[in-house]
Amino acid sequence: MKKLSYWWQIFGFLFASAGGTLLHFVYEWSGESVLTAPISGINESTWEHMKLLFVPMTLYAVVQSFFVKDASYWCAKALSSLSGLLAIPVLYYTLNGAFGKTSARVNIALFFVSAAVAYLLEYSLLKRGIPKCKKGWGILFFILVAVAFAVFTFMPPEIPLFRDPVTGGYGIG
11 in any annotated domain: yes
pTM of the model: 0.92
Task: Name the phi and psi angles at 60, rounded to 5.
Answer: -65, -40
Residue 120 neighbours by CB distance under 10 Å:
15
Mean pLDDT of 130-154: 89
pLDDT value of residue 1: 47
> Are 163 and 170 contacting, i.e. CB atoms less than 8 angstroms apart?
yes
Residue range(s) defining the domain that contains residue 41: 5-162
**DSSP percent split of the chain into helix, strand, coil, nearest 5:** 70, 0, 30
Average pLDDT, the chain: 91
| pLDDT number for residue 68 | 83
Q: Is residue 168 part of a domain?
A: no
Is residue 172 domain-resident?
Answer: no
State the pLDDT at residue 4: 58
CA distance 73 to 42: 31
Does residue 173 lie in a domain region? Answer: no
Mean pLDDT over 113-133 rounds to 87
Q: What is the pLDDT of residues 43-65, one digit of tens each?
A: 999 999 999 999 999 999 999 99
Q: Note whether residue 87 is domain-resident.
A: yes
pLDDT at residue 80 greater than cutoff 60:
yes
Cα-Cα-Cα-Cα torsion 59, 64, 69, 74, nearest 10 degrees, comes to -30
Domains contained in the chain, number: 1
User: Does any domain span residue 171?
Assistant: no
Residue 167 lies in a domain: no
Q: Would residue 169 count as lying in a domain?
A: no
